[in-house]
Amino acid sequence: MKRLAFYAAVIAATLALVILLWQFRSVVILLILSLVLTAALRPTVEWFVARGLRPGLARVLVYVLVFGVIGLSLALISSPLLNELHMLSNYLIVLYDSTYQEWLTASGLLQTLAAQLPAPNELGETMAGPAGGAALRFLFGVTQNTAAVVAGLVVVIVLSLYWSADRSHFERLWLSLLPAGSRIQARRIWQATEGSMGAYVRSEFVQSFLAAVLLAVGYRLIGLDYPILMGILAGLLWLIPLVGFLFAALASFLLGLASVGGLPVALGALALTVAVLAFLEFVVEPRLFRRNQFSGVLIIFLVLVMVDAYGMTGFLLAPPLAVALQVLGSHLIRAMRQQPTTAIEFATLEARLAAVSARYNGQTALDGQSVLDGAATADGQPLPMPPDIASLHGRLAALVAGARQNALEEL
């Protein structure tokens, strides 16, 4: 009966926690995003610290550099990007008009489809109306204004700085909730999970940035009319697990057809996209992250769920969460499969060291038994401890004392 009550209490507490997290899901998302950002930037901060920079200054420098480069890049490409979007929108309107007129004069299915579509002169009103707003919300999750998005980004950055500065304190806090014997293993699992999540985010960001830059330059050289737009689009599509390569290649081919050069430019854009993304996949990514250790199916499943719930925010958050869940699950399964072993406690090690010392000093061991056997002269006097054994004994004693101190600090 007590066990049944315990299980019922655990289930009730779990459900309550899930409901609470759902009610405060916006706050939870900001916290997770800040953890992801912290994990991604920590190695760079540690690199500066290892070269003599103070930790606080190193954190500020890394965050300023990263977000400064992103902001400067957006400022530089904003004007030409708007021009390309204007050109593409004009092309699409003309294409829609001509296609609409052709379908109206056709027969059968095409004429029926044209009758269901808005007329070209009504297209602007349709896109600005409820249907266009619903499409934007479905595709991008635009449910908040720009001020709310900027405020959320500022909160994520500030929280990330706090996580980075007080990592050890936060770890001690949540580890204190666990049994003492499980804290060291829990800390190792947490650090492995955080490290893998950060490595994935760094790898994806670097690849996406390189794809956008290299492809934008290449598209301009081959004569594509929308090089910056297509470069950014390819970099974003490359973030999609498993099928991002196909989407980016298809988009480059279609925008190539929409250019003045027509089919030759489209084929050139397709070949360039394939070459650059293959370079990122087989040369750059293996040096940043081992993707073959993780299931792409789980990543796609979580992406679909998160995009349906949170739009673009869910799209950005789902892949690192999927990686973290896989790392966490693998460590937990490995820990459960391990055969139980008897850990050698510090008291046992200290007792053995004391026995060695007593063997040469003519004393008794900790258990009260004599230890003179085999370590005495012919007249029964204890042998002095040889210098090499004495040196090794001293170093082992120091190591055990240091390990005990570290274990106490972990607690």
Q: Tokens 């052709």 belong to which residue?
A: 102
pLDDT confidence of 355, banded at 50, 70, 90? confident
DSSP assignment letter at 373 = T
Query: Do the Cβ atoms of 247 and 240 come closer than 8 Å?
Result: yes
- The two structure tokens encoding residue 158: 């500030």
How many angstroms separate the CA atoms of 296 and 294, rounded? 6
- The two structure tokens encoding residue 95: 């294409």
How many angstroms separate the CA atoms of 46 and 198, rounded? 13
Higher pLDDT, 408 or 251: 251
The average pLDDT across 349-367 equals 68
- The two structure tokens encoding residue 71: 């902001």
Q: Is the pTM of this model over 0.75?
A: no
10 Å CB burial of residue 325 (0-12, 13-18, 19+) is middle
Q: Output the average pLDDT for the chain.
A: 78
Domain range summary for the chain, segments of one domain joined by +: 1-122+147-165, 180-341, 346-410
Across the strands, what pairs with 376?
Answer: 382
pLDDT at res. 371: 42
Model confidence pLDDT, tens digit, residues 72-102: 988 999 999 999 988 888 888 888 888 888 8
φ, ψ for residue 382 (rounded to 5)? -65, 140
Model confidence pLDDT, tens digit, residues 103-121: 887 777 877 887 777 777 7
Model confidence pLDDT, tens digit, residues 291-335: 666 777 777 777 777 777 676 667 777 787 787 778 777 777 776
Query: Do the Cβ atoms of 222 and 269 come closer than 8 Å?
Result: yes
pLDDT of 137 strictly over 70: no
